[in-house]
Amino acid sequence: MKKITDPEDLKLLHHLINAYRDLIRERYDYSSIQQRIHIPPEIDESLVNSFREYFLGYVYPTPEKREEIEEAFRSLSHYITSPSKMWRLVGNMASAVFRFGRHFPAALKAGFISLESYIDANRFEHRLLQAAKEKNYQIPLSRDQFESCIVSIPRVEANEFVETVYALFKSLTDEELLIKTLEIMESVVQKMLRYPDIYPAKDIDGIRLGMEIIEQGYKMFRPYPKDVRLTAVKLIRENELDYLDRLYEKYR
């Protein structure tokens, strides 16, 4: 996650983030979705509204919140690029499976999906910034200008971002796995707190933020049975791909 330091670039990036947030609000308006694609009867307006708020709160938050998340996840990413750091916290694979159960590998992976979705969103934003600069666009961008920045990104890359988001939401539908994931992450945090000379506070904040993202997703889906959750996640994917289909067709 490359940090932008140029004030003008940062201002433009924040403008692009807010423009994309506006699109998310439109895209996850229940009546708007109804006009474009079929919504299964078991998916109510309340759940669709929850999708929108989750997107805006955790996948695509405000620029101010995003800076906080970026700093926290920058620390968390160190544990992915250096597995030895993680094993020092949970022990070897055999002992971890014995302690946390057979779901340990899947639960550990689920704990990092929120980071992966954020990294992809961050990469997507930087591609938008690059496109806006290449086109010499100035703030405020018109709707057409902003959309032209999106379609300047190869469709295959846009699809990859959708699949990452889909993976995040799908991971939030497995209640048993989420509970185990949170148990593991809490254990990791407690061990880090015991060794402040080794594990800085910002690393702990990164893991706690990952826990918050998982917890809020768990609360979002908890009132619904498993089959409705899976149907809902498929709707998210369909809605995202429908938006891209229409947008890329418009500027083809």
- pLDDT in the model for residue 178: 86
Q: List C-alpha distances in Å: 239 to 34, 38, 45, 192.
A: 10, 10, 14, 40
Residue 154 in tokens: 């190869």
- pLDDT in the model for residue 22: 97
Contact status, residue 183 vs residue 101, Cβ threshold 8 Å: no
Non-local (6+) Cβ contacts of 10 within 8 A are 4
- pLDDT in the model for residue 94: 47
Contact status, residue 79 vs residue 85, Cβ threshold 8 Å: yes
What residue ranges do the domains of the chain occupy?
7-250
Distance between CA atoms of 68 and 54, rounded to whole angstroms?
Answer: 17
Angle, CA of 236, 242 and 248, to the nearest 5°: 135
The pTM is what? 0.85
Sign of CA dihedral 82, 85, 89, 92: positive
- pLDDT in the model for residue 81: 57
Q: How many CA atoms, within 13 angstroms, populate the side-chain half-sphere of residue 183?
A: 15
Distance between CA atoms of 150 and 132, rounded to whole angstroms?
Answer: 9
Q: What share of the chain is helix, strand, coil (3-state, %, to 5)?
A: 80, 0, 20
Non-local (6+) Cβ contacts of 138 within 8 A are none
pLDDT tens, residue order, the chain (252 aa): 567 889 999 999 999 999 999 999 999 999 999 999 999 999 999 999 999 999 999 888 998 888 777 776 676 666 655 656 665 666 554 455 545 566 556 666 666 676 677 778 888 999 999 999 999 999 999 999 999 999 999 999 999 999 989 988 998 998 888 888 888 888 888 888 988 898 888 888 878 887 888 899 999 999 999 999 999 999 999 999 999 999 999 998
- pLDDT in the model for residue 98: 47
